[in-house]
Structure 1
């Protein structure tokens, strides 16, 4: 008989529920939570985190929830990983700071994709430490995707579907942050 614990999956499911609830929240709530450069300059620092929990439309939300599901299936069952809540806080802050410091053209941002790139890369680095060959393949795949995005620019077709410009810089900053966080915790993660 196969016994599977649901406990490792709960943080991912909770994140999915929170982003879904916020999607259906009133516009006044969304305006208070989105990454907004002017509001951040006025001290509304919660936006460094909360903007990642919002989405521009239903397609955008479903796309990010699908990415979260894939990452959950890849990384949730693996032992000795940093709690997802901490990953979201650290990677959300790092991604937003990257946008703030290096992407001055981005005034507004919503979406989980930058953080998802970070979680995926963080997990891939720890996969390598724990002896899973898939970690290197994931990192190479993400690196190729990011290089193509930076070369070709935002995908116009996807932008039309999500009703917003694709913030490829958020993907880049999230991925870099995930790799750095993984390297920071590399030696603290036991080998398989």
Structure 2
């Protein structure tokens, strides 16, 4: 039986690999996991890899379970839409989220978790809803995209106002970081929408580039 490459393109390899890395980080001895987390003092000493590896670490089993569950759900949907967009969103959001925490939230000495990247996957999905709605001029799809984006903003506002994670609720194990969630949604959506908006209007509308050269009728000069 020949190998089915199209099936591999649909298989969420990136999402599963990221989930596996998070599970592996959780299985490491605490000293190794601590060496991967966002640690403000350690980063100041030059341990810059923590800006990326922090996303793989978690504060306990409950934190890990929620983040990996959201990743498997949202990441699989985002990768199903476009693996290229999902990879681009990860490449942009992973450093952007921790850099924003570093620059704008100095009261956080440590940061862990996939939730920001989960939100980036959500942003990719929302971006594709916008793209599909604009391309087809489908008002229901556009309305759904607006509602999905508004829901993400409302979630971040709730977490900012209450200091509790929307899905997990009150916990002493960790504090939610709404800025990370907002940054993830925005980067995921922007990475997905930017190439689409830069296309010519005719291609955005029907997926083709119409030639500006008119064809000649038979016998015309």
In the superposition, the TM-score normalised over structure 1's length comes to 0.84
- Tell me, in whole angstroms, the C-alpha distance in 2 between the residues paired with 1:53 and 1:186: 31
**Once the 2 structures are TM-superposed, how far is the Cα of residue 60 of structure 1 from its aligned partner?**
0.9
Are 2:111 and 1:95 aligned? Answer: no
Residues 1-192 of structure 1: matches in 2 within 5 Å? 5-8=7-10, 9-79=12-82, 81-82=83-84, 84-131=86-133, 132-133=141-142, 134-155=144-165, 158-160=169-171, 163-187=173-197
* CA pair 87-57 structure 1, distance change in 2 beyond 3 A: same
Q: 4+ residue stretches of structure 1 with deviation over 4 A?
A: 188-192
Bigger RCO of structures 1 and 2 (CA < 8 A, at least 6 apart): 1
* CA pair 175-51 structure 1, distance change in 2 beyond 3 A: same
Contact kept, 8 Å, 1:34 with 1:110, in 2: the verdict is yes
Where 2:81 maps in the other structure, the secondary structure is: coil
Contact kept, 8 Å, 1:158 with 1:166, in 2: the verdict is no
Q: 1:100-137 CA deviation, whole Å, 9 max, x = no partner?
A: 11111111000000121122113311321123544333
- What count of residue pairs does the alignment treat as equivalent? 188
**Once the 2 structures are TM-superposed, how far is the Cα of residue 166 of structure 1 from its aligned partner?**
2.0
* Structure 1: segments with no counterpart, 5+ residues: none
Contact kept, 8 Å, 2:120 with 2:184, in 1: the verdict is yes
Q: 1:125-184 CA deviation, whole Å, 9 max, x = no partner?
A: 1321123544333212111111222222234973527x2222223212222333333343
Contact kept, 8 Å, 1:98 with 1:170, in 2: the verdict is yes
Is the radius of gyration larger for structure 1 or structure 2?
2
Range 17-26 or range 127-136, more displaced: 127-136
